[in-house]
């Protein structure tokens, strides 16, 4: 591993200010009762103690993003010939996402396989991804909705991060994870941290051990497929769901979108925005037919996608980072852990 | 036999003729209950009645039309059922209403705030105990004691309907409503005190973090159009997908205005919001206007006609302005 | 650039086809002098007007909105304006809570023969809007004002003190 450094808590605002002088720095701050990522403002104290309400997904994959502008016109040489001018808007502000939990950064591993596949690489995603650095904060404490250990992750998972901070007495241990992150350890505000690695490891171990043990869900992909036609099973799982999109939009791994055009006169913009498979309109076809007409169908798809179809297509990678936001923020406490375990139990019976 | 046990007996008796009966059960931790759909006697045994029964089960009724279902209601939930009956979105002979007198529910965001000042989170809860005055939550090793009046939902602090306004099976003795506490309307009081530019700033501040998940809309029992909502339609095209305060606030105004004269202030919209946006304030303000102009309250009389669906040739409280 | 840019504000009028649009026409035929800020959208009846039209108009760039219909009891469709009166009065009292000055919206009744009344209504309303000035936008609220309202409602807490 590369160099290990340490930064005292009092020096952190200075480091953030130094980073913010060169790029956009997003930190978790308290806003109206929730915690959201906002550009660093020295007057607003960042909050690192617990997971942000919304993940930093929007830093790389905004809720609404302009793809291009278009203008209809006429050829100046030949009035009868219409022209169409398309101006793409690929933006990539250099950004540091500072203080997200490892689960928030891990989500992008699931995105990468979809948006940076060989056949159709997405230039918008790639530009933002390349321009964004993740300085994540390992968890010292866990909550009862955390289940990162179920999906091969953990409170100090480095997957998706560029630099990992671990909270210890008086400050944070700073470790480089990727080549992109290594230069950040050169800041003069950081001191050598070799003497503190044992303390950091103890913090990480304690966090890992306070998680409830993960059940064996190796059979989940097959179990979910086996339950596909059992609509009574899915009715029971989805009875209380109200088909909103809270779980989807707060999920660090959910990546679906819709494309809409907004035209005014002869010009307009094409935009890509978040979409949720929990909504009725998600699979509504122009004919009026909807292959997922009920919430039972849609919840089956959501759980199936995350714990069965995606892992099967992507070498076992589960499309869930175990952050638990869907459980915590669901208005009726739909619990995806319970649904996966019910499917596995059903397959065994 | 306790009230809850008696209620369970009554539900088990009614169950054979019903598709299901909707109530509440224990959730994923000691601070959360979750809706329960009872289809068997074993399901009925899971029924709970406590201040954690925050959800409004009336939201599940409209899709069950054509089938006979039962629903257990708090007083505020029963008003939603009455409003659905008024608008013929459910049929009276297709629902069986079970009621108990309600002492109020907690607002979990207030509980979380109390825990936060003690340096712990709700996600570390280890034990919960309560009597009618206090609730003690042990989390992260600390026992935090809270007054029920401090963590009760705002609607409970001014509740005038602690008993179901309409019920087929009512278990227990009806309780009298208490005088409304001014703390219950802290949101309206704060907004009333602001200048017009300050209110614009207020909505700009709060709507900025809206993620347009539509949890507010889908948690509302009266918003039955959810699958065909004009906020998401292209024909008619009211809103774009743009992630701006203007679009998001416009959706809230659409939602509020479509509820004018229909909203029973159950508060589910605000409770459901994952970003803690005070969306209920808009509906409370509209309801106050409806009350001032038409002396009307939604969800009380199944035979009433909502004020915006009728008129008077000479209005009592609307006078023409001079030019 | 149009001659009146910078001098005109954007005022939208929703006029019912039978009475108010006729009244505006009468004012025009009679060559009555009026400010030109107000641009008319014709609807069949004031009862057709969804209060959300007015909100969308104000949120999306208008500085003022005026609605005009037949006098109550004289609606061409008998009852449309009775419903409109209720809806628009509710809306007028709702706008201030959104941070929109209530002076930016008004509704009135102008009949087809009341050309002079129409002239008066347009002149008074336009002056009212000019006195209020261009409408502030949610997107451009001053940061000091945002900071001031941030702590007004102590709502809940999802966080642990760091």
Which positions in chain A touch B218 (Cβ < 8 Å)?
242-244, 331
The CATH code belonging to domain B1-105+160-178 is: 3.40.50
Q: How many CA atoms lie within 13 A of B18 on its CB side?
A: 25
> Do B274 and A260 lie within an 8 Å CB cutoff?
no
Q: Does the pLDDT of residue C160 top 50, yes or no? A: no
State the pairing for strand pair B69-73/B95-99.
Answer: parallel
Q: How far is C36 from chain A (nearest CA, A)?
A: 23
Residues 14-53 of C with CB under 8 A from B: 51-52
* Chain B / chain C CB contacts < 8 angstroms: 157
Kindly identify which residue of chain A lies nearest to residue B225, measuring between CA atoms: A280
Residues 6 or more apart whose CB falls under 8 angstroms from that of B201 comprise C99, C141, C142, C145, C146, C148, C149
Nearest by CB: C150 against B205, B292, B294: B205
Residue A50 touches chain C, beta carbons under 8 Å = yes
- Which residue's entry shows tokens 């209005």? B315
Residue C2: phi and psi, rounded to 5, are: -55, 150
Query: What is the spatial order of strands in the sheet that C11-16 belongs to?
Result: C38-43, C11-16, C64-69, C105-109
Looking at residue C157, its pLDDT comes to 44
pLDDT digits (tens, 9 = 90+) for C47-97: 999 999 999 999 999 999 999 999 999 999 999 999 999 999 999 999 999
Q: Which value does ipTM take for this structure?
A: 0.94
Cβ(A321)–Cβ(A107) below 8 Å: yes
> Do A49 and C153 lie within an 8 Å CB cutoff?
no
Looking at residue C138, its pLDDT comes to 87
Q: How far is A142 from chain B (nearest CA, A)?
A: 8
Nearest by CB: A327 against B28, B36, B276: B28
C-alpha dihedral (B203, B209, B215, B219), degrees to nearest 10: -40
Q: Is residue C2 part of a domain?
A: no
CATH architecture of B108-151: Roll (3.10)
Q: Does the pLDDT of residue C139 top 80, yes or no? A: yes
CA-CA distance, A16 to A43, in Å (whole number)? 12
Residue A27 touches chain B, beta carbons under 8 Å = no
> Do A49 and C150 lie within an 8 Å CB cutoff?
no
Q: Is residue C3 part of a domain?
A: no
Find how far residue B104's CA is from the centre of its chain: 12
Chains in contact with B via at least 3 Cβ–Cβ pairs below 8 Å: A, C
Q: Is residue C5 part of a domain?
A: no
CA-CA distance, B148 to B153, in Å (whole number)? 9
Q: Is residue C160 part of a domain?
A: no
Find how far residue B26's CA is from the centre of its chain: 19
Residues 135-164 of B with CB under 8 A from C: none
C-alpha dihedral (B46, B51, B55, B56), degrees to nearest 10: 100
> Do C98 and B313 lie within an 8 Å CB cutoff?
no
Looking at residue B125, its pLDDT comes to 95
CA-CA distance, B236 to B220, in Å (whole number)? 22
Please identify every stretch of chain B with a pLDDT value under 50, giving residue numbers as ranges. none
- Among B217, B247, B229, smallest CA distance to B59 is for B217
Nearest by CB: A64 against B124, B243, B271: B243
Interface test with C, best of A34, A143, A171, A329 (most C CBs within 10 A): A34
Number of domains composing chain C: 1
Which positions in chain B touch A35 (Cβ < 8 Å)?
none
Query: What is the spatial order of strands in the sheet that B69-73 belongs to?
Result: B33-38, B21-26, B69-73, B95-99, B169-170
- Which residue's entry shows tokens 């036999």? B1
pLDDT tens over chain A, length 349 residues:
457 999 999 999 999 999 999 999 999 999 888 899 999 999 998 988 878 999 999 999 999 999 999 999 999 898 889 999 999 999 889 999 999 999 999 999 999 999 999 999 999 999 999 999 999 999 999 999 999 999 999 999 999 999 999 999 999 999 999 999 999 999 999 999 999 999 999 999 999 999 999 999 999 999 999 999 999 999 999 999 999 999 999 999 999 999 999 999 999 999 999 999 999 999 999 999 999 999 999 999 999 999 999 999 999 999 999 999 999 999 999 999 999 999 999 999 8
State the pairing for strand pair B134-139/B125-130.
Answer: antiparallel
- Sorted by where each begins, the domain ranges of chain B are 1-105+160-178, 108-151, 181-323
> Tell me, what CATH number does C15's domain have?
3.40.50
Q: Does the pLDDT of residue C155 top 90, yes or no? A: no
Nearest by CB: B243 against A62, A244, A279: A62
Q: Is residue C84 part of a domain?
A: yes
Which positions in chain B touch C86 (Cβ < 8 Å)?
293-294, 307-308, 311, 315, 318
Looking at residue A91, its pLDDT comes to 82
Question: Which residue segment(s) compose the domain that C102 sits in?
Answer: 11-155
- The residues that bridge with A165 in the sheet, in sequence order, are A137, A174
Looking at residue C154, its pLDDT comes to 59
Q: Is residue C162 part of a domain?
A: no
Which positions in chain B touch C106 (Cβ < 8 Å)?
321
């Amino acid at each position: 591993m590369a160099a290990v450094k340490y930064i005292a808590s009092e020096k952190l605002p200075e480091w953030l200010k130094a980073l913010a002088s060169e790029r956009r720095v997003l930190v978790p701050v308290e806003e109206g009762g929730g915690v959201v990522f906002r550009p660093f403002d020295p007057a607003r104290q960042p909050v690192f103690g617990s997971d942000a309400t919304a993940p930093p997904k929007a830093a790389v994959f905004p809720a609404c993003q302009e793809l291009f502008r278009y203008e209809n016109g006429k050829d100046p040489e030949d009035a009868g010939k219409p022209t169409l001018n398309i101006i793409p808007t690929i933006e990539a502000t250099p950004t540091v996402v500072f203080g997200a939990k490892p689960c928030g950064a891990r989500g992008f591993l699931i995105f990468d396989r979809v948006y940076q596949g060989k056949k159709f690489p997405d230039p918008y995603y790639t530009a933002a991804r390349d321009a964004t650095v993740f300085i994540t904060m390992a968890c010292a404490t866990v909550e009862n909705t955390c289940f990162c250990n179920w999906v091969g992750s953990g409170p100090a998972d480095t997957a998706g991060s560029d630099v990992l901070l671990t909270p210890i007495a008086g400050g944070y241990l700073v470790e480089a994870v990727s080549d992109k992150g290594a230069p950040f350890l050169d800041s003069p505000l950081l001191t050598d941290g070799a003497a503190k690695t044992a303390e950091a490891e103890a913090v990480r171990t304690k966090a890992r051990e306070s998680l409830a043990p993960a059940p064996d869900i190796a059979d989940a992909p097959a179990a979910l497929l086996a339950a596909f036609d059992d609509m009574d099973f899915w009715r029971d799982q989805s009875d209380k769901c109200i088909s909103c999109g809270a779980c989807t939009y707060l999920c660090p791994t959910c990546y679906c979108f819709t494309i809409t055009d907004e035209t005014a006169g002869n010009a307009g913009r094409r935009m890509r925005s978040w979409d949720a498979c929990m909504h009725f309109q998600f699979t509504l076809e122009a004919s009026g037919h909807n292959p997922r007409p009920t919430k039972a169908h849609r919840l089956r798809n959501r759980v199936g996608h995350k714990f069965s179809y995606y892992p099967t297509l992507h070498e076992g990678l589960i499309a869930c980072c175990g952050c638990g936001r869907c459980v915590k923020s669901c208005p009726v406490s739909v619990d995806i852990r319970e649904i996966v375990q019910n499917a596995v139990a059903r397959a065994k019976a | 036999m306790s009230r809850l046990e008696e209620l369970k007996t009554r539900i088990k008796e009614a169950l054979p003729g019903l598709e299901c009966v909707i109530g509440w059960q224990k959730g994923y931790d000691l601070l959360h209950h979750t809706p329960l759909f009872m289809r068997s006697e074993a399901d009925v045994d899971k029924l709970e009645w406590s201040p954690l029964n925050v959800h409004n089960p009336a939201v599940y009724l409209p899709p069950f039309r054509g089938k006979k279902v039962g629903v257990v209601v708090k007083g505020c939930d029963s008003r939603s059922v009455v409003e659905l009956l008024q608008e013929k979105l459910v049929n009276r002979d297709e629902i069986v209403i079970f009621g108990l007198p309600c002492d109020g529910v907690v607002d979990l965001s207030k509980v979380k705030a109390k825990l936060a000042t003690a340096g712990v989170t709700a996600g570390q809860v280890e034990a919960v105990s309560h009597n009618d005055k206090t609730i003690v939550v042990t989390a992260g090793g600390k026992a935090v004691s809270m007054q029920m009046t401090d963590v009760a939902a705002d609607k409970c602090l001014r509740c005038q309907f602690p008993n179901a306004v309409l019920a087929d099976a009512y278990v227990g003795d009806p309780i009298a409503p208490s005088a409304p506490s001014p703390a219950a309307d802290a949101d309206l009081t704060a907004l009333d005190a602001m200048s017009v530019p300050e209110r614009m700033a207020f909505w700009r501040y709060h709507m900025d973090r809206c993620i347009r998940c539509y949890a507010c809309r889908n948690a509302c029992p009266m918003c039955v159009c959810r699958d065909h909502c004009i906020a998401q339609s292209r024909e008619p095209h009211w809103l774009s997908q743009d992630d701006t305060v203007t679009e998001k606030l416009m959706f809230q105004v659409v939602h509020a205005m479509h509820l004018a004269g229909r909203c029973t202030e159950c508060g589910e919209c605000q409770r459901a919001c994952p970003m803690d946006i005070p969306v209920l304030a808009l509906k409370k303000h509209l309801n106050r206007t409806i009350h001032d102009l038409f002396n009307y309250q939604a969800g009380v009389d199944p035979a009433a006609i909502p004020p915006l669906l009728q008129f008077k040739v000479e209005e009592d409280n609307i006078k023409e302005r001079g030019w | 650039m149009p001659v009146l840019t910078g001098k005109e504000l954007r005022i939208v009028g929703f006029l019912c086809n039978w009475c108010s649009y006729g009244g505006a026409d009468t004012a025009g035929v009679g060559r009555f002098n009026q400010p030109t800020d107000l641009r008319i959208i014709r609807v069949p009846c004031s009862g057709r007007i969804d209060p959300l039209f007015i909100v969308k108009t104000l949120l999306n760039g208008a500085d003022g909105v005026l609605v005009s219909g037949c006098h109550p009891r004289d609606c061409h469709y008998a009852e449309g304006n009775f419903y409109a009166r209720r809806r628009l009065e509710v809306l007028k009292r709702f706008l201030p809570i959104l941070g929109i000055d209530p002076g930016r919206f008004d509704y009135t009744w102008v009949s087809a023969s009341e050309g002079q009344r129409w002239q008066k209504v347009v002149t008074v309303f336009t002056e009212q809007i000019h006195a209020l000035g261009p409408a502030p936008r949610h997107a451009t609220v001053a940061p000091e004002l945002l900071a001031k309202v941030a702590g007004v409602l102590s709502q809940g807490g999802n966080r642990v003190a760091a």
